[in-house]
Amino acid sequence: MGKLGKKARKFAKKNLPSVLRDRRKKKALFKKRYSSKNVQSNVEDQAKLIDHSNERNTEVEAFEDFSLEAPFMENDCDGVVDSSDSDGYLSEDISNENETESEPGKLLEGDKCPSELMMQNRKIQENLAVQKSKLERLKRKDPSFSKFLEKHKDIEAMQNGAVFSDEDDMSNHGRDSVTEDNQGKNKGRVLTVSAISSWCRLIKEEHKEEAFVCLLNAYRAACHYGTESIGLRFQNAETFCSLIMSVLSEADNILRGFLGLSSSSYKKEAVLELKDTPQWVNVKPLIKSYLRSTLSLLDQVTDSEILAFALTQLRDSLPFFAAFPYLLQRLIKTTIHLWATGGGMLSSASFSIVLDVASIFTTDCFDNCLAKAFVAYLAQSRATDIVNNKHLQFLRNSLVDLCSLDVQKSLSKATVSVRQLAKVLQWGLRTKKKEALQRICSWEYANCINLWVGFIARNVWDYDLQAFFFTMVQLINGVVRLFPGPRYFPLRLNCFQWLNDLSNSTGVFIPITSFVLDVLEYKIVGGRGKPGPTLFFQSVLKLPKSCLKSQTFQDECITSAIEQLSSHFLQWSYHISFPELATVPLIRLKKFNESETKESLCRAVKHLIEQVEKNVDSVQKKRNEVAFSPNDHQSVETFLQFEKSSLSSPFSQYYRSVLDKAALRGSHKNEKISLSRRDKSKRKR
């Protein structure tokens, strides 16, 4: 590369960002070195002149640090912090009104959950000794409780430290010898299915809170199984599953029974009204233990069926979260993560809870849900190639449902988001930098546009979204004009689909035929190439250069263009101005059909031309029979409305066949792509 000329060097010396950074450093040195006010003022004046002369460069630097999540990050916070020092095991007083001196809740618990460090074993054993002495004192004071313990030895085993003491390893390190009695106690710490059944029977038949405490403590140990040391051992996998299923299935009904709430009560106000009652003081630790343990289970389990079942059962207990703001924030965070990263029933069950939380609780919860959901949606959209397009479409539809709960608040966020998108587009149109084009031609940017298009289509008839609609149309047209090359045809076709959706939902005419025909009429330079690899425009935004000369690329362009033209013509096929709308596209289609040599593509284009011409003749005949003038707007709007509602025209049937062929073609391509990915993975192995 040759040397720069004199003018170029002079321009670079004044305007390059590196020169500006050096000058800013020198400016800081000048302030330190010279204490004179005149010198400082001169340096500051010089800095102002530099900043003013390079305002465009600083704008570009600001855009480079831009994030599409910015409008929602201010509400993406966890909010309330848990003020409780409890480890999750029940230690609150759960005594009845007439049991003033007895404390069965405390006696069933330990002061601490055992640490994994063996150095704390001695302290734990001392605490257990204190608890045992309290238990003996309680037996002497309350004979009825002593008789109860004699009947049910499994509960007594839990009270004597079955959950809170480690087994063989801890006992070997913390004690000098192991006696036969201690071995017998260790055997009693193994949880069995019969013990679970006994607790459930006591809870259902006799409404024993003590048995429910034991059940919740065992459930808490099961939910933390594998993440921390617990003193409870499960006899087998069946015992573990039985415990989890029993608590998830029955806990909500049991807690509602203790509080006197009906199972159909789904309002948080009913729970908040009970917060000052004695019943709530006794049941609150039970509710908190159940909710915390279930949230821990959701964080640990990886099986989608278990997670979906747990979420379905937890959904019935949502009103209880009104009393625990910190747990509510944890619930929002966990369910949105499962919604975004899961699939199928798991995503559906997670989002059902998100919708309920956003509608039941305060507006702050709605803001938090919307912010976290939007951030998670963009995070799933940052892939270079969309592997699971169906799941991403589900996320988009779900987020539209969430925004539709409070359209006015969502509209303010959407307006700021689209303004940010427009700034990025303006940056790309002005600079044409590689970084700008990559940011615009990305799934994050495209899915953000797709989200707000769906939001407009869902709510445009019930709310005033006209200004937002026109802003979106201008934004999408700007993206189309920014990428005219054939490598960006997939992105352009997505833009045509968005414009068709906006036009169809609002009834406003948006001209796209000239853009679509540009894709249709693209010719391969130097003749047709090899067949090439399988292309799926719905899963990419930018094509590699090696695909542009393949016959597969040409076929995909023509087929996709025909689909978009058919969708556009269908929307206006019943309008009184359809003959004028189809005149220029028909001329260009006929010209393309004459120059095309491949028979299969000629057949498809010719079929489209025939259907459009038939629809033109049909509309023309109906229009010749009317007696109103074009100025009669009401009559123009009602023209062929009956035929439109019945979708009985030949063009509607033709478009239905186009959709069927597109779905079949997409399924075949998905199979080929999945097979090729399997082959690649096998080769890597």
pLDDT tens digits for 495-538?
999 999 999 999 899 999 999 999 888 876 555 556 666 777 77
The residue count of the chain comes to 685
Which pLDDT does position 596 carry in this prediction?
76
d(CA 295, CA 331): 7
Structural tokens at position 99 = 């049991």
The DSSP call for residue 113 is P
pLDDT(120) > 50? yes
Helix ranges, 92-188 (H): 104-107, 121-141, 143-151, 153-157, 168-174, 180-188
Which pLDDT does position 53 carry in this prediction?
42
For residue 80, give every residue at least 6 positions away whose Cβ sits within 8 Å of its Cβ, in sequence order, or none.
325, 326, 328, 329
The DSSP call for residue 649 is S
Distance separating the N- and C-terminal Cα atoms of the chain: 46
pLDDT(339) > 90? yes
Which pLDDT does position 352 carry in this prediction?
94
Q: Of 639, 619, 641, 640, nearest to 630 (Cα)? A: 639
The DSSP call for residue 65 is T
C-alpha distances in angstroms, 154 versus 108, 158, 163, 329? Answer: 12, 7, 12, 36
Q: Of 427, 445, 437, nearest to 59 (Cα)? A: 427
Greater confidence, 132 or 337? 337
Question: Residues 244, 297: contact at Cβ < 8 Å?
Answer: yes
d(CA 557, CA 548): 10
pLDDT(174) > 70? no
Rounded to 5 degrees, φ, ψ at 191 are -85, 135
Facing residues of 228 across strands?
225
Facing residues of 23 across strands?
none
pLDDT(592) > 70? yes
Q: Which residues of 662-685 are buried (b: 16+ CB within 10 A; e: fewer)?
A: beeeeeebbeebeeeeeeeeeeee
Which pLDDT does position 54 carry in this prediction?
46
Which pLDDT does position 521 carry in this prediction?
85
Which pLDDT does position 36 carry in this prediction?
44
Q: Which of 94-103, 143-152, 481-490 has the highest mean pLDDT?
A: 481-490
Which pLDDT does position 309 carry in this prediction?
93
Per-residue pLDDT tens over the stretch 15-53: 666 666 666 655 554 444 444 444 444 444 444 433 444
pLDDT(94) > 60? no
Mean pLDDT of the chain: 77
pLDDT(194) > 90? no
Q: Which of 3-17, 240-254, 649-663 has the highest mean pLDDT?
A: 240-254
Greater confidence, 437 or 41? 437
Query: In the block, which residue shows the tokens 């919307």?
Result: 370
Rounded to 5 degrees, φ, ψ at 190 are -85, 120
Reported as a pLDDT band with limits 50, 70 and 90, residue 633 is: confident
Q: Which residues of 87-102 are buried (b: 16+ CB within 10 A; e: fewer)?
A: bbbbbbebbeeeeeeb
pLDDT(107) > 60? no
Greater confidence, 458 or 124? 458
Which pLDDT does position 2 carry in this prediction?
55
pLDDT(113) > 60? no
Per-residue pLDDT tens over the stretch 43-85: 444 444 334 444 444 444 445 456 787 777 765 555 545 545 4
Rounded to 5 degrees, φ, ψ at 603 are -65, -40
- CB count, 10 Å around CB of 634? 7
Mean pLDDT over 209-230 rounds to: 82
Question: Residues 381, 444: contact at Cβ < 8 Å?
Answer: yes
Lowest mean pLDDT: which of 85-94, 218-227, 242-251, 368-377?
Answer: 85-94
- CB count, 10 Å around CB of 158? 26
Which pLDDT does position 641 carry in this prediction?
73
Which pLDDT does position 674 carry in this prediction?
54
Which pLDDT does position 105 carry in this prediction?
33
- CB count, 10 Å around CB of 133? 10
Structural tokens at position 563 = 């689909």
Sign of CA dihedral 324, 329, 332, 335: negative
Centroid of chain to Cα 418: 19
Structural tokens at position 305 = 């069926």
Per-residue pLDDT tens over the stretch 569-583: 998 888 888 899 999
Reported as a pLDDT band with limits 50, 70 and 90, residue 188 is: very low
Greater confidence, 597 or 155? 597
Which pLDDT does position 582 carry in this prediction?
92
| Element containing residue 408 per DSSP (H, E) | helix 407-431
Structural tokens at position 169 = 């390893």
Question: Residues 375, 422: contact at Cβ < 8 Å?
Answer: no
Centroid of chain to Cα 672: 28
d(CA 20, CA 14): 8
d(CA 393, CA 685): 32
Which pLDDT does position 90 carry in this prediction?
64
**Percent of the residues in the chain that have a pLDDT greater than 90, as a whole number:** 31
Facing residues of 310 across strands?
none
The maximal CA–CA distance of the chain, rounded, in angstroms, is 108
Structural tokens at position 243 = 């415990």
Which pLDDT does position 32 carry in this prediction?
43
For residue 521, give every residue at least 6 positions away whose Cβ sits within 8 Å of its Cβ, in sequence order, or none.
588, 592
Question: Residues 586, 665: contact at Cβ < 8 Å?
Answer: no
Which pLDDT does position 39 carry in this prediction?
42
Which pLDDT does position 302 carry in this prediction?
87
Rounded to 5 degrees, φ, ψ at 228 are -155, 165
Q: What angle do CA 77, 83, 84 make, to 5 degrees?
A: 130
